[in-house]
Amino acid sequence: IWCIDCLCVLFPATAWSALQSGGSVLDAVEKGCGRCEVEQCDGSVGYGGSPDESGETTLDAMIMNGDTMEVGAVADLRRIKNAIGVARAVMEHTEHTLLVGESDPSKSCGPYKPRATLKQYKRAQHADTRSHDTIGMIVLDQDGHIAAGTSTNGLTHKVPGRVGDSPIIGAGAYADSTAGGAAATGDGDVMMRFLPSYLAVELMRAGADPSAACKTAISRIKRHYSEFFGAVICANTTGHYGAACNKVPGFSQFHFMVSDSKSDIPLLKSVDCF
């Protein structure tokens, strides 16, 4: 089990417990992310944090079955705390992939800027590592089944109706039991344009080492947005894993957690950004 942005040992431990007790990889992802939602994960996941411009918290989540390629995702979810559970219900009880809420920017103009200003911002922005965050999880069991999931309450002070990368398949996370899984965190408005999780999995399918796959996925974004804040974790079907992050002021090292049969408790890992 690999967990992104979940430095509390409770969340990967909860997922590991579900797996050890006979649950599926989907059960592990749902329970691990769900525990983070309940505990509100430093205010960046679950109810009550990262309000939009209207002061309301909305949730995004996604879960993916790497065996069947089925996905359930929700975005702009209001008045429901268990976003990852709703995402799984979408996957298992509907024919749809992504359902969104009812918010819209009709009462707020948002932080819009002229294109010239946006181009300057694109070159000069600095990372705000606390303005957007996600729990992302990849689970691989002993039979080779892989699942991945995400949950977040999104960007602080976002325009009502804004959806980030977390519930977008291939952006926030991706899983394919024939290749591996990946999950991402960071500036979702930028990162979703490159589908870094999908790219990382496809690179591993082609034989790339997980660390190299993650680095290539970050490099693809970095060529266009040199100052973006973001990181990706990857795991292949043999259990090897890696991570990569873009180095910007205030963000030079990325931490993630790993749970496996070699340790009784989740282990904190880190990688230097480049």
Of 13, 86, 19, residue with least CA distance to 47: 86
Q: Which of 14, 57, 58, 134 is catalytic?
A: 134
If one compares 265 and 127, the residue with the highest pLDDT of the two is 265
Does position 77 have pLDDT exceeding 70, yes or no? yes
Mean pLDDT on 60-79: 94
Tell me the average pLDDT across 234-259: 96
Calculate the average pLDDT of the chain. Answer: 88
pTM of the model: 0.86
Per-residue pLDDT tens for 133-142? 689 999 999 9
Per-residue model confidence (pLDDT) at position 193: 95
Report the pLDDT value the prediction gives residue 82, as an integer from 0 to 100: 93
Distance CA(108)–CA(34), nearest Å, equals 31
Q: Name the pLDDT band for 121 (thresholds 50, 70, 90).
A: very low
User: Quick check: is 134 catalytic?
Assistant: yes
**With helix as H, strand as E and coil as C, how does 21-50 read?**
CCCCHHHHHHHHHHHHHHHCHHHCCCCCCC
Nearest 5°: phi and psi at 269?
-120, 160
Residue 208 pLDDT > 50, yes or no? yes
Arithmetic mean of pLDDT, 208-217: 98
Of these ranges, 70-79, 89-98, 202-211, the one predicted with the greatest mean pLDDT is 202-211
Residues 145-171 pLDDT 10s:
999 999 998 888 888 888 999 999 999
pLDDT of residue 128: 53
Does 124 have pLDDT greater than 50?
no
Which of 89, 87, 181, 172 shows the shortest CA–CA distance to 133? 172
d(CA 103, CA 86): 18
* DSSP β-bridge partners for residue 231: 185, 245
pLDDT at 71 over 70: yes
Closest CA to 218 of 249, 239, 248, 240: 248
